[in-house]
Amino acid sequence: MPLIHPSAFVDPASRLAADVQVGPGVIIESGAVIGEGCRIQAHAVITGHVKMGARNTVGYGAILGADPQDYDFKPGTKSEVLIGDDNIIREYVTIHRGTKEGSVTQVGDNNFLMVGVHLGHNASIGNRVIIANNCLLAGYVEVQDGAVLGGGSVFHQFLRVGRLCMVRGGERFPKDIPPFVSAYGTSMVAGINAVGLKRAGFSSETRLEIKRAFRLIYHSGLNITQALEESKKTSWGPEAQEFLDFIASAKKRGVCAVKPVRGGSSSSDREE
């Protein structure tokens, strides 16, 4: 049987695995599904719209599955929050459910959401993502695998954050952030996230090719449309092609620009 503190309220119509631990003052509503090995700390609220997998930690005062902050939302809408396995969701994190019928807000596996993170309705978080304290993600934001978001950053609705990028804290982003880059300021990129790519096991050849693709987009003197056309004349490896394809598909918000650097080089040219 789950280990449930006497002061917690767990609706009998929720489904908890046998070894779930539920702390003082927790509320778990009818319809919620919580997988094996999960630990729900004091005063967290999990609505009936949440389904989570195994070995997740939900921190003190977190609220998962609340209604979205959307004027067009209709309270009777059936939508969900789906959470995978092995996530750490710290104190006072808020994750809102989808805003349209049948839609979801999704968190994958092995993610670390630090204190005060907010995921708006229909956000999508991949795997092995780190989101530092007080980051705010608006509706429909997509964060791809391995990204790191610095504390206090804010992200506009419908924005995409690419795989294995590094985002500096305290910044705001109204445009897509391509994969494999370091981002800062107001929708600016500084170069390739060389350290992150090394740690992810990218070979030196792959990193160099991504840098060549980066320079073609940002330092060739061509506009993005022209640079993408030029890229078709070269056969790229899968990672560099992923970078280029992301740029090509960034139609909703557009992509981050690059800060001009004196001497015509960027930090991506200097990193190994």
Q: What is the pLDDT of residues 258-272, one digit of tens each?
A: 876 554 444 444 343
136, 158, 193 - which closes a domain: 193
Asked whether residue 208 falls in the same domain as residue 105, the answer is no
Residue 80's domain comprises 3-193
Q: Over the stretch 23-65, which tens digit does the pLDDT of each residue have?
A: 999 999 999 999 999 999 999 999 999 999 999 999 999 999 9
Residue 264 pLDDT: 43
**Dihedral (Cα; 182, 185, 187, 190), 10-degree rounding:** -30
Residue 266 pLDDT: 43
Q: Over the stretch 218-229, which tens digit does the pLDDT of each residue have?
A: 999 999 999 999
Asked whether residue 89 falls in the same domain as residue 10, the answer is yes
Residue 142 pLDDT: 98
Residue 253 pLDDT: 79
Asked whether residue 52 falls in the same domain as residue 175, the answer is yes
Asked whether residue 188 falls in the same domain as residue 86, the answer is yes
Residue 261 pLDDT: 55
Sign of CA dihedral 95, 97, 98, 102: positive
Asked whether residue 243 falls in the same domain as residue 178, the answer is no
Residue 91 pLDDT: 98
Residue 203 pLDDT: 96
Ranges in the chain, pLDDT < 50: 263-272
- Helices (H), ranges, the chain: 194-199, 204-218, 224-231, 238-249, 267-270
R_g of the chain computed on alpha carbons? 21
